[in-house]
């Protein structure tokens, strides 16, 4: 038999794939059927007249609440659903962060992924070589058996830790934890070190009990923003920006932004300052110097609640003068002096905050700490209009129970999820060091039997994704078995052995929680708005189904039923009477109706650190002479710090070892010592080794995110890729002049690994300074970028994920299967989202468009920062060369 006759080719054939059929899916497969049908794509201008406008009847629509997950902000939403189709998304006003029907553009676009032509519809098993793209459709039963048998073999061999689950943005942590704990493996890998671990660690080390501040923005008078692009792409940005805008209009609050690039936020600020990359920490320290020098700080707060005291701070900051910071950063001395005093004089309704622009550097942990410290000096911590934080922002099992029995936490540890080189990575929460996973596997630092991936776009979104990541994913001796759960045929799926088609966030369950800028506890429910297409199935249900096929020791943890049943239990302690008096059978029904529960029983935690300890909290407590820390034996009989003696009263203080806001954290000195690193425990500034003596012909490459894209979730959403699908390199006019280029000209970009400095603390990962790779791209010449910096957006340059992300046109062979005759469909598109895509991807280069951009992550080195391990995304040194094409 000639097998070619039985192999279907391209995504177009997916919908008609029978059980046992074989399909070839390769990169760029979205265009595969184009040649077959000789289809002429319809161009943008022509298309407008050909698309039929479909009028939605909202009166017949079902209103269903849920939670958006098109970015990490997880806004409560309300959907209108007709005939298993979401026709409209808007915000759920009961979500206190949102408080209105507003969503961002990404939120609006979300439903298009449900109808996306290149959705994965069936479980697929690899039948060719790994990475060849040859798959056979199998049943879920076969898929479950395959995964379960392999996990059982790992358990039987005494190595459950050889089962690893690597996730992108999941929002089903409790479910994944249960699955891995039942197996006995701790290896749950995440992407936090590629995202925000320095910011989180800085908040934890300073405040002790939160990883993310909830700025009391509406009451704030002064926003000192170090590198956060919250008008566009910040976690919680939509919620923050609406309040910042209100504060600016209502009472003239000032917004000052430090950023190397004229981001949307910088452009809308009252002042924009461009520091040399990675010097924001020095600027923050110099501002602290000015505040102390001018006695413009909250002496009472610092004296009582800050470690160390004022005298030590003055000594430590003595050399951090504005002139010192100006030399490093390029920010004028007069500006540093003026901004420090403006910020300080607006106290306590004043905030200094940050995000990746500060944290994603080699020195990012201390820079983030220096920024948070400014709030302590201003006494704005937990004050109205200040740097506030919520207290109860996790799905704690006491409040949100889970089905019993609960599996015990695994006792094993491995270098993969707890690498000893970065001892602060998992100190406060599981932040791990995701970017080193593939290199560690290659080095033999950990062995894997079963590698499960979920919403993980590592070949596309990881540094060295197209080299280190792909090399390891292809190597069957390193990863003997890889099962990938995804929505579309991603680059990760391409290198799997088994593909598990996932439900989108609009087709599945989940209880979700987020910090609340209104400073009250709240929780939201994600519920399916429509059913998934084909055999696609939510990953939580897949894990539970596999769990039941493991041995009895594991299966007992999954007897509760489906993911819906799991969430029902989680909601069991929620109220049954709604805010409008409606009665519900249980908390789950309550949540299904309202979509959100807000606990208004507690006051806002303003000045929570001053709260007196109750008699119950003080029972059996002792006060340490000298530092005033209140200790009480914990459950294990060990002394635990629970409060602080202030003005003769025992108060809560901060949840740090000293119960004070810790500018000085002795724990860091200890941890660093274990690595042979001398660290004073203060947020001391250190230069980035690779940036010292930067030659005139070298630049620093930064990347950024658009308001319509996340790193990996949005490219396959047609409306979003239609808005942004191209990412020319931003270069300063001075750089352009030197190179002799103008906007639209081509350059070749070459990137280099970091260089290590002399000291142990300056050792960079693979710090050789060697070249990594090159790419050619167009330039966009602007004054909106620092002269020593070039910037390329991430999120683009996909070689998988279907026509919207790949920027490829092409007709689909399965149109008939979807009720559209190919003849009718050739002329125009009778249904909106799906057929608009069929009618042509106008940004396809073959249609005269600009294509889908460049994947900049491929050229960035794996570069974890010391101690915490966050990826230093914005440190990469590069060179440029003018080329003709």
Stretch that binds ligand SF4, among 100-108, 209-217, 286-294, 608-616 (CB under 6 A): 100-108
* Interaction of residue 514 with ligand SF4, rule CB under 6 A: no
* Interaction of residue 73 with ligand SF4, rule CB under 6 A: yes
Beta pairing class for 877-883 and 698-704: antiparallel
Binding to ligand SF4 (CB under 6 A): which residues in 784-843? none
* Interaction of residue 71 with ligand SF4, rule CB under 6 A: yes
* Interaction of residue 75 with ligand SF4, rule CB under 6 A: yes
Stretch that binds ligand SF4, among 65-73, 401-409, 506-514, 857-865 (CB under 6 A): 65-73
Q: Helices 173-183 and 539-548: crossing angle, nearest 10°?
A: 20
* Interaction of residue 74 with ligand SF4, rule CB under 6 A: yes
* Interaction of residue 113 with ligand SF4, rule CB under 6 A: no
The residues that bridge with 335 in the sheet, in sequence order, are none
Stretch that binds ligand SF4, among 103-111, 419-427, 501-509, 655-663 (CB under 6 A): 103-111
Stretch that binds ligand SF4, among 66-74, 170-178, 186-194, 394-402 (CB under 6 A): 66-74
Q: Helices 280-293 and 322-329: crossing angle, nearest 10°?
A: 160
Instruction: Mark residues 460-499: x for contact with ligand SF4 by CB under 6 A, - for none.
Output: ----------------------------------------
Cα dihedral 730, 366, 368, 666 in deg (nearest 10):
170
When the beta carbons of 25 and 74 are compared against ligand SF4, the nearer one is: 74
Q: How far is the CB of 74 from ligand SF4 (least distance, A)?
A: 5
Q: How far is the CB of 722 from ligand SF4 (least distance, A)?
A: 16
Task: Find the binder of ligand SF4 among 31, 33, 65, 70 (CB under 6 A).
Answer: 70
What string of DSSP letters covers 239-275? HHHHHHHHHHHHH--EEEEE-SB--HHHHTSSEEE-P
Task: Find the binder of ligand SF4 among 23, 81, 86, 104 (CB under 6 A).
Answer: 104
When the beta carbons of 719 and 752 are compared against ligand SF4, the nearer one is: 719
- Indicate the SS3 state at residue 46: helix
Residue in the block written with tokens 């002096």:
337
Q: Locate 397 and state its tokens.
A: 């099992």
- CA–CA dist 511, 582 (Å, integer): 21
Omega before residue 126 within 30° of 0, cis: no
- CA–CA dist 163, 171 (Å, integer): 20
When the beta carbons of 331 and 724 are compared against ligand SF4, the nearer one is: 724
Residue in the block written with tokens 């639209």:
744
When the beta carbons of 104 and 147 are compared against ligand SF4, the nearer one is: 104
- CA–CA dist 214, 217 (Å, integer): 8
Contact 630, 648 (CB under 8 A): no
Stretch that binds ligand SF4, among 44-52, 102-110, 517-525, 590-598 (CB under 6 A): 102-110
Omega before residue 295 within 30° of 0, cis: no
Taking Cα atoms as reference points, which of 5, 406, 427, 462 lies closest to residue 179?
406
User: What is the DSSP-derived secondary structure letter of residue 624?
Assistant: -
Q: How far is the CB of 704 from ligand SF4 (least distance, A)?
A: 17
Stretch that binds ligand SF4, among 98-106, 173-181, 265-273, 858-866 (CB under 6 A): 98-106
Residues contacting residue 553 through CB under 8 Å, at least 6 positions apart: none
When the beta carbons of 94 and 550 are compared against ligand SF4, the nearer one is: 94
Taking Cα atoms as reference points, which of 171, 362, 486, 271 lies closest to residue 875?
362
The residues that bridge with 110 in the sheet, in sequence order, are none
When the beta carbons of 509 and 842 are compared against ligand SF4, the nearer one is: 509
Task: Find the binder of ligand SF4 among 24, 68, 228, 651 (CB under 6 A).
Answer: 68
Task: Find the binder of ligand SF4 among 9, 80, 106, 137 (CB under 6 A).
Answer: 106
Task: Find the binder of ligand SF4 among 12, 41, 107, 587 (CB under 6 A).
Answer: 107
When the beta carbons of 161 and 518 are compared against ligand SF4, the nearer one is: 518
Contact 871, 360 (CB under 8 A): yes
- CA–CA dist 686, 541 (Å, integer): 48
* Interaction of residue 228 with ligand SF4, rule CB under 6 A: no
Q: How far is the CB of 835 from ligand SF4 (least distance, A)?
A: 25
How many residues sit in the footprint of ligand SF4 (CB under 6 A)?
11
* Interaction of residue 238 with ligand SF4, rule CB under 6 A: yes
Rounded to 5 degrees, what are φ and ψ at 97?
-65, -40
* Interaction of residue 103 with ligand SF4, rule CB under 6 A: yes
What string of DSSP letters covers 326-356? HHHH---HHHHHHHHHHHHHTTTSEEEEE-H
Stretch that binds ligand SF4, among 72-80, 248-256, 503-511, 870-878 (CB under 6 A): 72-80
Contact 725, 851 (CB under 8 A): yes
**What is the biggest distance separating any 2 CA atoms in the chain, rounded to whole angstroms?**
90
Query: Minimal CB distance to ligand SF4: which residue?
Result: 107
When the beta carbons of 103 and 229 are compared against ligand SF4, the nearer one is: 103
Taking Cα atoms as reference points, which of 404, 362, 268 lies closest to residue 867?
362
Q: How far is the CB of 77 from ligand SF4 (least distance, A)?
A: 7
Stretch that binds ligand SF4, among 31-39, 67-75, 224-232, 737-745 (CB under 6 A): 67-75
Q: Helices 333-345 and 280-293: crossing angle, nearest 10°?
A: 60
Binding site for ligand SF4 (CB under 6 A): 68, 70-71, 73-75, 103-104, 106-107, 238
């Amino acid at each position: 038999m000639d097998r070619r006759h039985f192999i279907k080719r391209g995504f177009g054939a997916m919908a008609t794939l029978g059980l046992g059929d074989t399909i070839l899916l390769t990169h760029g497969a979205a265009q595969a059927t184009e040649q077959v049908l000789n289809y002429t794509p319809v161009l943008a201008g022509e298309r407008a007249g050909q698309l039929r406008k479909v009028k939605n009847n909202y009166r017949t629509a079902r209103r269903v609440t849920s939670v958006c997950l098109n970015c990490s902000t997880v806004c409560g939403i309300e959907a209108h659903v007709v005939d298993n189709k979401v026709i409209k998304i808007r915000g759920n006003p009961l979500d206190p962060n949102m408080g209105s029907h507003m969503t961002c553009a990404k939120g609006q676009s979300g439903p298009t992924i449900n109808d996306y032509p290149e959705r994965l519809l069936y479980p697929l098993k690899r039948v060719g070589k790994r990475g060849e793209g040859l798959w056979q459709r199998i049943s879920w039963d076969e898929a479950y058996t395959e995964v379960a048998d392999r996990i059982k073999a790992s358990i039987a061999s005494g190595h459950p830790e050889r089962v690893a689950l690597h996730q992108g943005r999941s929002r089903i942590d409790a479910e994944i934890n249960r699955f891995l704990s039942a197996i006995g493996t701790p290896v749950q890998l995440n992407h936090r070190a590629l995202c925000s671990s320095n910011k989180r660690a800085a908040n934890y080390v300073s405040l002790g009990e939160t990883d993310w501040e909830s700025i009391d923005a509406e009451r704030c008078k002064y926003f000192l923003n170090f590198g956060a692009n919250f008008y566009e792409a910040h976690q919680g940005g939509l919620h923050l920006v609406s309040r910042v805008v209100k504060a600016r209009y209502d009472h003239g609050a000032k917004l000052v932004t430090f950023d190397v690039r004229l981001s949307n936020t910088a452009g809308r600020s009252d002042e924009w300052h461009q520091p040399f990359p990675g010097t924001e920490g020095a600027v923050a320290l110099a501002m602290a110097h000015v505040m102390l020098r001018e006695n413009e700080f909250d002496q009472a707060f610092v004296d009582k609640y800050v470690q160390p005291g004022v005298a030590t701070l003055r000594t430590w900051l003595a050399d951090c003068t504005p002139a010192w910071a100006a030399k490093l950063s390029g920010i004028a001395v007069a500006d540093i002096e003026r901004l420090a005093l403006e910020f300080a004089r607006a106290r306590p309704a004043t905030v200094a905050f940050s995000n990746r622009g500060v944290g994603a550097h080699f020195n990012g942990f201390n820079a983030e700490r220096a920024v948070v410290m400014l709030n302590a000096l201003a006494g704005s911590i937990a004050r109205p209009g200040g740097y506030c934080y919520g207290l109860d922002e996790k799905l704690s099992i006491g409040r949100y129970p889970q089905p019993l029995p609960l599996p015990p936490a695994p006792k094993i540890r491995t270098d993969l999820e707890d690498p000893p080189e970065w001892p602060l990575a998992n100190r406060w929460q599981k932040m791990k060091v995701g970017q080193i996973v593939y290199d560690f596997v290659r080095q033999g630092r950990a062995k894997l039997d079963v590698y499960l991936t979920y919403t993980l776009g590592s070949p596309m979104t990881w540094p060295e994704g197209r080299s280190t990541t792909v090399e390891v994913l292809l190597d069957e001796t390193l990863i003997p078995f890889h099962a990938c759960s995804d929505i579309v045929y991603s680059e990760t799926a391409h290198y799997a052995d088994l593909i598990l088609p996932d439900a989108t966030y609009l087709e599945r369950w989940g209880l979700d929680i987020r910090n609340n800028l209104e400073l009250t506890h709240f929780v939201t429910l994600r519920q399916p708005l429509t059913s998934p297409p084909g055999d696609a199935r939510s990953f939580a249900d897949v894990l539970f189904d596999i769990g039941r096929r493991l041995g009895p020791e594991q299966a007992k943890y999954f007897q509760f039923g489906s993911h819906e049943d799991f969430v029902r239990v989680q909601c069991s302690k929620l109220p049954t009477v709604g805010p409008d008096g409606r009665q519900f059978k249980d908390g789950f029904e309550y949540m299904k109706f309202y979509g959100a529960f807000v606990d208004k029983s507690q006051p806002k935690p303003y000045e929570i650190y001053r709260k007196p300890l109750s008699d119950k909290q003080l029972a059996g407590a002792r006060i340490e002479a000298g530092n005033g820390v209140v200790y009480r034996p914990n459950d294990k009989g060990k002394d635990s710090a629970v409060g602080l003696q202030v003005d003769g009263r025992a108060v809560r203080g901060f949840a740090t070892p000293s119960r004070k806001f810790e500018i000085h954290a002795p724990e860091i000195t200890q941890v660093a010592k274990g690595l042979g690193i001398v660290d004073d425990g203060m947020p001391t500034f250190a230069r980035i080794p690779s940036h010292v003596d930067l030659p005139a012909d070298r630049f620093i490459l930064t990347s950024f995110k658009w308001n319509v894209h996340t790193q990996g979730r949005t490219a396959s959403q047609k409306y979003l890729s239609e808005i942004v699908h191209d990412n020319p390199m931003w270069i300063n006019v001075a750089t352009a002049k030197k190179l002799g280029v103008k906007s639209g000209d081509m350059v070749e970009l070459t990137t280099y690994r970091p260089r290590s400095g002399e000291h142990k603390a300056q050792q960079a990962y693979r710090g050789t300074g060697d070249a990594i790779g090159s790419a050619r791209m167009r330039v966009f010449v602007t004054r909106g970028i620092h002269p020593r910096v070039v910037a390329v957006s991430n999120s683009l340059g996909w070689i998988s994920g279907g026509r919207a992300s790949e920027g490829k046109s092409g007709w689909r062979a399965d149109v008939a299967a979807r009720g559209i005759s190919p003849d009718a469909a050739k002329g125009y598109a009778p249904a909106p989202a799906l057929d608009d895509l069929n009618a042509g991807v106008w940004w396809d280069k073959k249609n005269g468009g600009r294509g889908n951009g460049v994947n900049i992550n491929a050229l960035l080195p794996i570069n974890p920062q010391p101690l915490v391990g966050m990826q230093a995304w914005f440190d990469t040194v590069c060179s440029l060369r003018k080329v003709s094409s």
